[in-house]
Amino acid sequence: MTKLDATDRSILRLLQENALLTTKELSQHLNLSYTPVYERVRKLEKEGIIKKYVALISREKIGKNLIAFCNVSLKEHSRLNGERFVKSVLSFEEVTECYNISGEYDFMLKIVVDDMPAYQRFLMDKLGALEGIGNTHSIFVMSEIKHETALKV
């Protein structure tokens, strides 16, 4: 784990709020000169602390009105079966998050689609078509109470 000082943490907080801030704007917020701020941002990127910069899109405004969490258990717990499942899931555009979990199920998927018929098509044509799946359990989001992408630093 990389040790972050107060300036690094401030840079990360500012960039999580607005990734479009220029180095000049960051240096103004931090009351530092351009060069040290530039070097710190590049170091945070190089060390993988800043993984990438993205635009957060309103899913509702592009017609993605249904969020479902789907728990999946595999029939067989072999490395090959697990790797095959993960490779397939990585290719599914509907899956926005995937976690290997403990408990009754092996994986938890977050799926974002237009509507219930789209979810049914995903479940039947993509997820259900995979070999090695033992059981699935779907949970549908009725309303989103909190969705943050920023991490406390």
Quote the DSSP letter at residue 108.
Answer: E
**CA–CA distance from 46 to each of 60, 68, 121, 148, 152 (Å)?**
34, 35, 41, 24, 20
Q: What is the mean pLDDT of residues 73-93?
A: 95
Which residue in the block uniquely carries the two structure tokens 């784990």? 1
The ranges assigned to domains in the chain are 6-46, 60-140
Topology, domain 60-140? Alpha-Beta Plaits (3.30.70)
Q: In what order do the strands lie in the sheet with 95-100?
A: 95-100, 107-113, 66-74, 133-140
Which pLDDT band holds residue 2 (cuts at 50, 70, 90)?
A: confident
CATH 2.40.400.10 is the classification of domain 6-46: no
CB-based burial label for 49 (10 Å; 0-12, 13-18, 19+): middle
Question: What is the Cα–Cα distance from 4 to 88, expressed in whole angstroms?
Answer: 36
Q: What is the pLDDT of residues 16-55, one digit of tens each?
A: 999 999 999 999 999 999 999 999 999 999 999 999 999 9
